[in-house]
A and B are shown apart, each in its own frame.
Chain A
Amino acid sequence: MDDGRGGRGRVTIRLIRRDRASRAWMIAAPAAAMALSVATSLLLFAALGKPAGAALFALLIDPFLTWYDFSEVLMKMSPLLLIAQGLAIGYRANVFNIGAEGQLILGAIAASALPVWYPEATSPLMLPAMLVMGALGGLVWALIAAALRTRFNASEILVTLMLSLIAVQVLNYLLLGPWKDPRGFNFPQSVMFPDAAMLPALLEGTRTNISLLFGLVASVLAWVLMGHSMAGFRLRVGGLAPAAARYAGFSERRAVWLGLAAGGLAAGLAGASEVAGPLGQLQRSVASGYGYAAIIVAYVGGLHPLGIVVSAFVISVIYIGGDAATVSAGLPVAAVEVFQGLLLVFYLMCFAFIRYRVAVVRRAAA
């Protein structure tokens, strides 16, 4: 904000490093970011001539008005929570997997292979096998990036993103070609899955299924791994101080493999849960941006397992609220994306106050 001089002004603003991270700001930063994002997007909507008040109501209140809407929030939350927990493990080790979207798509495709090939199957092993296939699909897609990074030094940021763009084309290819439902009126979608391929509902009468539990279990695992295990400690050191990790003999390669594997597994499982859950078939809308939104969920949750549970919930509310706002306030669909971007931007601003405090320095007159 200031490189030490800031012109000849009498007053300068400096960020001064705190002796220890502020716990108060760890809580306050996401809350402040949320408030700033809401305020800014309302101004933006008003500028676009949309009814700001109605939009605000729809975004933040509507999702809580009916049991069904609330259950939809929990349904959205399942993949976001799961993927964000996986990604955050990598991010804390400075392994930037931004291609969870592609890993989710590959997970969905791998899981769909079984019901597409055996549409009449009734085996109780069908569903577990699909989940395993899905997780492996996501894992393999992520590990391509790990192999290229550790073997050839290729940036995992760019490789995972490119692999996501390729994954969309793989999905299109399958849905327009070999996997297209022959009785689907030429729509780009697979056959509907048999009951044996569907996840059981968690809340009766809603679309919320047991994949929410996957997310919650992942949260507990992430909490143990990152907070209490030596393996997680090695990852954190690698992220905070790479030279210290080398000094202590913590392998960077291992961190890259682990970090990408965690995100890939989680995204793949989330992809499997989408096709075996709310979608009930493989279709284009499986690539609906959860993989990208999960990046924001992970950061706004402070890359902390508990924070991510909260941020996954909040962003799910915004998703469902955004749907409501397109109807009630005439908001464009893109408004939700803008809001997510704003949330991350404001969070990163507020995040500075965890490590730094602002000092206004009044200098002696020359």
Chain B
Amino acid sequence: MSALAFIIAGMLAAATPLILAAVGEMVAERTGVLNLGIEGMMALGAAVAFIVVTLTGSHLLGFAAAAVAGALLAMVFALLALGFLANQVAAGLGIGVMGQGLSALVGKEYESRTVRGLPDLHVPGLSDIPFLGRTLFSQDIVVWLTIFGAVAIWVVLNRTRAGLVIRAVGENPHAARAVGFRVIAIRTAALAFGGAMAGIAGAYASTVLTTLWAEGMIAGRGWIAVALVVFGTWRTGRVAFGAVLFGALSLGELALQAAGVPLSSQVLASVPYAVTILMLVVISSDRRRMAQNSVASLGQTYHG
């Protein structure tokens, strides 16, 4: 397979955890809460799903358990940031550390095992297209569901009353409360959704993408997901696009390595982090655009 085919075939799968986590975090941020615990929620989801899949052989159960674990951790965050009015940055860091610690605690005994991944889906029509059928459209069911999920979230945010309510709460929680929206409840729900998505993202990373679990395997992808929300200026399509770019980038590194390009593995491993910084710089420097697209109450403590 050519390098190009390799990248095209793998980039969507590599992007899937990033899309899931970033879009989930985006929904939470749209309501005005900054959850920096995504890395920990992904780590916990990865460990929990791996254990469940190992024990039951069912990916469905594994993903469900990861979603529950991520959402539970997000509920602890909600309790801190919304209930106890804690600084959202500190609360997110604390939850993140706890999630990473818990993942290591429960996952340790499963470290050297592997599980079976998911088969690629045969989509009538698409799969028969020359080249692209074997590469771009040859994906497992989670990739397809993630794409549909992202579209669904776009529809909800931009075309439904629920989306209007989310925007209202994010723009001005005090006004939202004055006209009768339950700010805390809406934010809590958004956080739970974001946590569940991060958990599923971790589950995909450990049980489908690599089919093995190791401590620290999320390797900053939760943080990249948070950065992607900024990169996508809180728009579903742009956030997902950014995630796919990262997916292609990570495949590109592997292709370069396979092609024997004389770059040390450390340089290659640093590329996603350096690119994250670069993209933050490029997007954030347009202060006007940031101010227009960002969520007015993001990160602020709300005492109703």
Contacts and interface: CB of A to CB of B under 8 A. Distances in A.
Interface stretch (B55-63, B150-158, B266-274): B266-274
B95 interface: yes
A348 B86 contact: yes
B177 A169 contact: no
A15 B101 contact: no
Interface in A1-55: 1-5, 15, 17, 44, 48
B104 A152 contact: no
Given A148-B281, A158-B276, A169-B266, A2 B101 contact: no
Contact of A337 (B82, B90, B100, B267): B100
B303 A17 contact: yes
A1 B284 contact: no
Chain A binding site: helix, strand, loop or mixed by DSSP? Answer: helix
Contacts of B264: 173, 177
B36 A4 contact: no
Contact of A341 (B101, B267, B280): B101
Given A169-B267, A332-B105, A341-B95, A162 B86 contact: no
B277 A162 contact: yes
Nearest to A145: B277
Contact of A4 (B102, B177, B219): B177
Contacts of B285: 151-154
Contact of B284 (A152, A165, A292): A152
Contacts of B274: 162, 166
A98 interface: yes
Contacts of B82: 1
A334 B80 contact: no
A105 to B, nearest CB: 13
A348 B226 contact: no
B91 to A, nearest CB: 6
A96 interface: yes
Given A3-B185, A341-B95, A158 B89 contact: no
Interface string A339-354: 1111011001101100
Contact of B280 (A4, A5, A154, A351): A154
Contacts of B284: 152-155
B183 A3 contact: yes
Chain B binding site: helix, strand, loop or mixed by DSSP? Answer: helix
Contacts of A340: 97, 101
B69 to A, nearest CB: 14
B98 A341 contact: yes
Nearest to A338: B101
A169 to B, nearest CB: 4
B105 A352 contact: no
Which of B84, B99, B108 lies at the interface centre, i.e. has the most chain A CB atoms within 10 A of its CB? Answer: B84
Given A337-B100, A348-B94, A356-B85, A166 B270 contact: yes
A296 interface: yes
B105 A153 contact: no
B213 to A, nearest CB: 13
Nearest to A162: B273
Nearest to A334: B104
Interface in B239-277: 264, 266-267, 269-270, 273-274, 276-277
A153 B280 CA distance: 9
A340 B105 CA distance: 13
Given A334-B104, A334-B108, A352-B86, A344 B97 contact: yes
Contact of B93 (A152, A336, A338, A344): A344
B101 to A, nearest CB: 3
12 contacts: A3-B177, A96-B89, A152-B281, A154-B280, A155-B280, A165-B270, A332-B104, A332-B108, A337-B100, A348-B80, A352-B85, A352-B86
Interface of B: 36, 40, 76, 79-80, 82-87, 89-91, 93-105, 108, 177, 182-185, 215, 219-220, 223, 226-227, 230, 264, 266-267, 269-270, 273-274, 276-277, 280-281, 284-285, 287, 290, 303-304
